[in-house]
Amino acid sequence: MKKRKTAAMMNLNLKLIMKLGLTSIVILIITGTRHPAFAATPSDSAKVEQEVDSLLSRMTLAEKIGQMTQIDRKYLKSDSDIAKYYLGSLLSGGGSSPEMNTPSSWAEMCDGYQSYALSTRLKIPLLYGIDAVHGNNNVKGAVIFPHNIGLGCTRDSALVEKAERVTAEEVAGTGINWAFAPCIAVARDIRWGRTYESFGETPELQVEMAGAAVRGFQGDSLSGHSLVLACAKHFVGDGGTTGGKDQGNTVCDEATLRKIHLPGYVEAVRDGVGSIMVSYSSWNGLKMSANKYLLTDVLKGELGFKGFLVSDYAAVDQLQGDYSEEVKTAINAGLDMIMVPEHYRRFISTLTGLVNDGKVPMSRIDDAVRRILRVKFAMGIFEHPYPDSSWTATVGSPAHREVARACVRESLVLLKNKGRVLPLKKNLRRIVVAGKNADDLGNQCGGWTISWQGSSGDITTGTTILQGIKDAVSKETDVIYSRDGSGAKGADVGIVVVGETPYAEGAGDRTDLSLSDEDMAAINNLKRAGIPVVVILVSGRPMIITKALKEANAFVAAWLPGSEGEGVADVLFGDYKPSGKLSHSWPKSMSQIPVNYGDTKYHPLFPYGFGLTY
């Protein structure tokens, strides 16, 4: 698969954006926009618009507001409410799964929901959304890819496109037609608990990866050949909040917002993303869900975005005023679909009253519904409301796992290799593997895996790093696991896998990123055994590693590699050379955070783009 743009072109574009003034940036955005988004040809586009016009003209207010309503399936009072309220969309929040969490159970559930939508007068099919942020990560047995922070280190947009195509196939295989991905936040403060969902700290990486990810989900254009609708998120500035606080406030002028946080969305729109999720966060004190200027004037106006905007989970509830005021503000600002996700009857009643009272104009309702219908018609789900069942058999397939394994090995960043300890020989006599993350699939997958926050343990199908090491060595090599690193004397080498345990947004915000006492004890136990020590860090962001780095002969940042631990072993034992380059500047201490490439005083432990090889 060929890259659409070379890295050199991306760097040139970024430098141009960084140098241009605000007015020039706007001109660059407008003149550079292309729209393959909603049809492969102009005639297809015209046909979609005709179909939208025809259907919209026949819709009642109740049917229109139903299309603007998205609820979490676990809050459905009755499945028949899908038809009763003409619901346009359902979702599964993290952990909102059928009783039997298998691909076929998901497909059966989604098909059942779709049948209710198709029983209505106008037979408008549902969009069903899910947070497939590193594979179809809510489904047991699906392939779990490295989180975006690792994919950013690959600098390989073609591989990212391939990974998202695999994810799209596995999403479609569970009966779902909408993925809340890619996340193209520019994470500027690693204390933020969502840092791992971002490709990295620079707009350059978002520009390089955003379009590739969108194409992976949707193809070259949003059409009947698109397996899954993509959703770029979270518009805009969510990675720039003060102190890295989740759902916090990004404080900067407009030129800075456009220079750092907007370019990824420009690229996503250019490559036809059909939906964009609006951030919980604020810009200079104003919640993004209330920011008409950015949502309507900039995104829909200047950038020419033709798809629809969806709120984040219950985000409207965070706006000012009573519930009626919150809904009025969000809809008038430009939100087209509201992720309610629970009290849908109240939302429908409230928005109906606002329209009848003239507080939300019918033109705004028609614009929102037009955008939603445009996407549905362009995707071809009126003709094919049920995904092809043949995709179900591909979920977790060996071919898909091989793609994830390639992502793992390309994402690894070698930070230290004193004495050329790596690569290791496969015929060593005795290897001691230590650390809490060596034999824990849940820990190496991280948050947003099976459940919202993720969890430790054997939570899905995959291969741990320990098992990958065992599979890589010769039959004569003795691989021993000692969680605390004890009993390592006499071994040829010690490999210790340390770092973070799973978390997601909110709960992942940190004021201390030091390694735990348990991690340092395991490292020190191996060191005291008098053997070479290889440290593998499993984490969703750079951590404070100065002490560990001093004790290690070799140090590898493995990020959150997902379900295919063999990819780590591929590099440790030299089947592949390490090629990853840091997508974040690595701080020396907590006091140095935030530290980002381009800072006036820039002296990190390891700079952005650093990475050794053999």
On the question of pLDDT at 287 being above 80, the answer is yes
What pLDDT, on the 0 to 100 scale, is given for residue 116?
A: 98
Residue range 298-347, pLDDT digits in tens: 999 999 999 999 999 999 999 999 999 999 999 999 999 999 999 999 99
For residue 283 the two structure tokens come to 């810009």
pLDDT bucket at 81, cuts 50 / 70 / 90: very high
Name beta bridge partners: 559.
Answer: 538
pLDDT at res. 40: 63
User: Which whole number is the average pLDDT over 493-502?
Assistant: 98
Q: What is the pLDDT of residue 39?
A: 61
pLDDT greater than 50 at residue 183: yes
**Average pLDDT for residues 183-190, to the nearest whole number?**
98
Q: Is 312 a catalytic residue?
A: yes
Assign domain 7-393 to its CATH architecture. Alpha-Beta Barrel (3.20)
The ranges of the chain annotated as CATH 3.20.20.300 are 7-393
Indicate whether 118 pLDDT > 50. Answer: yes
- pLDDT (tens digit, 9 = 90+) per residue, 554-580? 999 999 999 999 999 999 999 999 999
User: Tokens at residue 219, please?
Assistant: 């193809």
595 Cα distance to chain centroid: 23
Residues in contact with 17: Cβ distance below 8 Å, sequence separation at least 6, in sequence order: 25, 28, 203, 259, 263
Q: List alpha helices for 202-256, DSSP H.
A: 203-218, 254-256
pLDDT band at 30 (very low <50, low <70, confident <90, very high): very low
**Confidence (pLDDT) at 44:** 83
The secondary element (H helix, E strand) that includes residue 56 is helix 42-57
Least confident of 25-39, 372-386, 407-421, 501-515: 25-39
Which residues are 497's β-sheet partners?
A: 536
Count the helix, strand and coil residues of the chain and give each as a percent rounded to the nearest 5. Answer: 40, 15, 45
Segment 131-177, tens digit of pLDDT: 999 999 999 999 999 999 999 999 999 999 999 999 999 999 999 99
CATH 3.40.50.1700 intervals, the chain: 412-592
Residue-wise pLDDT for 391-425, tens only, equals: 999 999 999 999 999 999 999 999 999 999 999 99
Is the pLDDT reported for residue 224 higher than 90? no
Q: What's the average model confidence in pLDDT over 124-130?
A: 98
Residue of 131, 238, 312, 336 marked active site = 312
CATH class of 412-592: alpha beta
